[in-house]
């Protein structure tokens, strides 16, 4: 990370976790499996399940907080100075922790960036967060955020996968040039890539799974950190193995033929 933190190269997402009480034990087991396998970065947000995902994460990391790099997010509707501080304190309570390692603005809204940044800096001074960043900001927004005083921005968390490559036109380069980390959410494109026959053939030819190809492809890019969400221990174990695979130049060229990079600027895609 720009601030010097060393984090896992593959993290764990939690969107839609905590929504079904019947799946609670399995989801907690999945998160703990990921921690056991070195996927110690866990991403969540106050928006996910209106706090239910944060509460689930809090249960999963109980007794293991020091092993985890915890990421959460504040909604743009809560991005004012006082509201951000209150939102963070509510997230801390749900997570059962005294600090969040990385706190993000979930997407840009009507609140000026200066207010959110001032709140982030106050929270850092209070020890309630260690670093801050953003999510779903395009290149112009990233420039505006840093110009507003957010030069300590660590990451921009955006939709990025083999099927959604628009950020390669300019945002990915801006992030790398400014030594910020691109945190890639929905690396399986909501599951669509796992059902892609061409990708399945590519994976089988290399004794990989489609999910492992998706993650290995992201890991082949500098300053890119994928955060797949998988709700079973078996799928989490499969994801963890992706860190041991390395795609070569021919592999990457073949994937470019299957999933074309952008030919021009595209609006930032958001799920």
List phi, psi (to 5°) of 182: -90, 115
Catalytic residue positions, numbered: 48
- Rounded CA gap, 208 and 202, in Å? 8
- Rounded CA gap, 217 and 236, in Å? 17
For 265, the token pair is 């600027």
Residue position matching structure tokens 């628009």: 166
Non-local (6+) Cβ contacts of 54 within 8 A are: 18, 44, 45, 46, 48, 72, 91, 94, 95
Non-local (6+) Cβ contacts of 223 within 8 A are: 175, 176, 179, 180, 181, 182
Q: Say how many residues make up the chain.
A: 271
User: Do the beta carbons of residue 212 and residue 194 sit within 8 Å?
Assistant: no
């Amino acid at each position: 990370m720009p601030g010097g933190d060393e984090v896992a190269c593959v993290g764990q997402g939690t969107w839609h976790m905590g929504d079904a009480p019947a799946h609670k034990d399995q989801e907690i087991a999945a998160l703990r499996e990921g921690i056991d396998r070195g996927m110690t970065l866990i991403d969540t947000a106050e928006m996910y399940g209106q706090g239910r995902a944060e509460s689930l994460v809090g249960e999963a990391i109980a007794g293991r907080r020091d092993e985890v790099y915890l990421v959460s997010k504040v909604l743009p509707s809560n991005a004012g100075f006082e509201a951000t501080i209150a939102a963070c304190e509510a997230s801390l309570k749900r997570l059962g922790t005294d600090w969040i390692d990385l706190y993000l603005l979930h997407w840009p809204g009507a609140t000026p960036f200066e207010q959110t940044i001032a709140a982030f800096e106050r929270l850092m001074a209070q020890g309630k967060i260690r670093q801050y960043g953003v999510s779903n900001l395009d290149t112009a927004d990233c420039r505006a955020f840093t110009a507003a005083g957010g030069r300590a921005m660590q990451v921009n968390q955006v939709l990025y996968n083999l099927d959604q490559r628009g950020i390669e036109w300019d945002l990915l380069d801006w992030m790398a040039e400014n030594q910020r980390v691109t945190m890639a959410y929905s690396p399986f494109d909501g599951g669509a890539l796992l059902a892609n026959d061409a990708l399945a053939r590519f994976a089988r030819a290399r004794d990989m799974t489609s999910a492992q190809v998706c993650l290995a492809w992201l890991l082949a890019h500098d300053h890119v950190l994928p955060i797949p969400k998988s709700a079973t221990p078996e799928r989490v174990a499969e994801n963890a193995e992706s860190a041991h695979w390395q795609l070569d130049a021919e592999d990457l060229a073949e994937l470019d033929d299957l999933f074309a990079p952008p030919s021009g600027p595209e609006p930032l895609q958001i799920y």
